[in-house]
A and B are shown apart, each in its own frame.
Chain A
Amino acid sequence: MATGGRRLGRWILLGLVALTVLSLLAGIVIGPVTIPVRDAFASLLGDETASTVHRVIVRQIRLPRVLLGLLVGSALAVSGVAMQGLFRNPLASPYVLGIASGASTGAALAILFAAGSTYLLPLGAFVGAAAAVAVVYGLARGRDRRTSIFTLILAGVAVGALFSAVTSFLIFLSSGGEKLSDVLFWIMGGLGRAGWPSVAILAPIVAVGIGGVVVLARDLNALSLGEEGAFHVGVNPDALYRWLLVLTTVLTAAAVAMAGTIGFIGLVIPHVMRLLVGPDHRRLIPVSALAGGCFLVWSDVAARTVLAPAELPVGVITAFLGAPFFLYLLKTRGARL
């Protein structure tokens, strides 16, 4: 069993590439307005045969939205892999270090006090997320300049709680109204703010971030032997921690800044992929990136269609699908997780 899925690794990777293409197409075709597949292709390929409405929907709304979904989903999934590898614990998620809470506070500040600016919201969220991690890392770094994994987790919980309290306080101050629902909607996460600018900003960040984690894949494998185990095969655990924290913070913060705090992708996708292809990070990272992207695109399709024309926050869908599945995994393979 331990190796059964691994021989299939290449096929799983190919299958996920195919699924990604399919998801891209499905995300474009499915929605409140159904686009005929022929029109979708025509619009994508720059052919002018589709109706203007369809062309605009495909090029200006759906395509950037699907691409944003792929980027955000893969960023969260790869951050999840990195965090679980860093903490050597399958229960870690990209949000362990208080990123989600920090981003929420930043976003709430931007929404409540700087209305109207498109760029201030993602900027505020990014700064909030980075600030939370900086505080956590600062606390976990001992006088001997070594990082304690244990303190890192505890500080993450505490700092997260602190930022959540600030966010709650801000929400309380806002005394209801449209801004309040803006904040709550943002916190629940969604791709509604997608557009070409957000795709253009996020794409290079995600590419560099995932590329960086891929470079560290071998070191992540070694880290599963513990800090000293990794050290003895020539991996410096402190440098590895530092790089992983920087990369996951940038990946997660950028994703969250564009799409809010979407939960469960970073927790569940790495698990499922580990069950499918085994724990070797050199395989796990690419398949998780693809699977995370696909999962978010399909969740977003569901969010747009379930109560159409109203749109659900996609975080509701990912949690709705992810949580029971996670519980099922815990129940059936608990000991092996």
Chain B
Amino acid sequence: MRIEVRNVSFAYDDRTPALRGVRLDVRSGESVALIGPNGSGKSTLLKVVSGVLRPDMGAVQIDETSVGELSARRRARSLAMVEQERPMGFDFTVREVVAMGRIPYRGRFAREARSDRRAVDRAMDLADIRELADRSIRAVSGGERQRVFLGMALAQEPDVLLLDEPTTHLDLRHQVGFMSIVRERACAGMTVLIAIHDLTLAAQATDRIALMSEGRIVVTGIAGDVLTASNVRSVFGVDAVVGAHPELGTTYVLPTLTRRAE
């Protein structure tokens, strides 16, 4: 499915606009990373794309239909989202949580159909959480929990996967594990839009990068073109060494700590 963000503006209150005329095209099957400093509008853009927020101006279209016009059920079958964190009030098992991804496919009182069971099992395999199935969602580690929510999103069998800084709280192993799964799905043809802080992982996991600053998309392109030392300096205010991974050839960004003048 193709995502078209057309001239979207949004403000949480009257004073500070969070998005100012954002345009972005994500082709069907393409994966795009949204990068940029805190407050640059990445999360807000994802919320507008997913339909949580309605844009003040402009529109988001998914295959020619405005997101706001999709029925809740159709929207949930097409778009799935993994946030940075999710509250988990009650003691559901991992499998029960993943199965909640089938809500848009099941009747209110319907038992789990074979297609549901298959989708849940497959999602748990894809997210590598098979062995956690009977554990409580509140008893698994933070890294495992994010994979559970990824599994739940995959159980929705969405065309578009939206991710809002899903690896921010994870340790290195879980970041790599999580992003590897995301890249697998992207390679398998899922359309992916992910906000992420780790520029090097973003470059490895996605086809294209959109750099945001102050509510605008400043530049989009392949990692090698967007992740330049001068872009990093002007948008993040950070000096960095940028290079190509010796084996993979993907772009890496090594930030340099600053020394303040005394």
Contact = CB atoms under 8 A, between A and B. Distances in A.
Contact of B104 (A215, A225, A233): A233
Given A233-B76, A235-B72, A224 B90 contact: yes
Contacts of A336: 91, 138
A67 interface: no
Given A225-B86, A226-B86, A233 B91 contact: no
Contacts of B100: 221-222, 225, 233
A279 B90 contact: yes
Interface stretch (B58-66, B77-85, B115-123, B172-180): B77-85
Contacts of A218: 103, 106, 108
Contacts of A234: 72-73, 75-77, 103-104
Interface string B179-205: 000000000000000000000000000
Nearest to B153: A232
B89 A274 contact: no
Given A2-B135, A215-B108, A225-B87, A233 B93 contact: no
B72 A236 contact: yes
B44 interface: no
A88 B91 CA distance: 11
A280 B111 CA distance: 13
Contacts of B139: 2
Nearest to B79: A232
Among A88, A90, A225: residue with most chain B CB under 10 A = A225
A287 to B, nearest CB: 15
A280 B96 contact: yes
Contacts of B79: 232
B101 interface: yes
Contact of B50 (A232, A274, A282): A232
Given A2-B134, A232-B76, A234-B75, A224 B89 contact: yes
Interface residues of B, number: 36
Contacts of A228: 52, 81, 83, 86
Interface in A68-126: 88-90
B52 A233 contact: no
A275 B93 CA distance: 13
Contacts of B104: 233-234
A236 B71 CA distance: 11
Contacts, number: 82
Nearest to B106: A218
Nearest to B77: A234
A222 B91 contact: no
A2 B93 contact: yes
Contacts of A278: 91-93, 96
A274 B91 contact: yes
Given A228-B81, A233-B156, A280 B92 contact: yes
Contacts of B83: 228-229
Nearest to B92: A279
A3 interface: yes
A238 to B, nearest CB: 12
Given A215-B108, A233-B100, A2 B80 contact: no
B52 A231 contact: yes
Interface of A: 2-3, 88-90, 215, 217-218, 221-222, 224-226, 228-229, 231-236, 274, 278-280, 282, 336
21 contacts: A2-B93, A2-B135, A88-B89, A88-B90, A215-B108, A218-B103, A218-B108, A222-B103, A225-B97, A226-B86, A232-B50, A232-B76, A232-B79, A232-B81, A233-B76, A233-B101, A234-B75, A234-B77, A234-B103, A278-B96, A336-B138
Given A232-B81, A280-B92, 13 more contacts: A2-B136, A2-B139, A3-B93, A88-B89, A89-B89, A218-B103, A218-B108, A228-B81, A232-B80, A234-B76, A279-B91, A282-B109, A336-B91
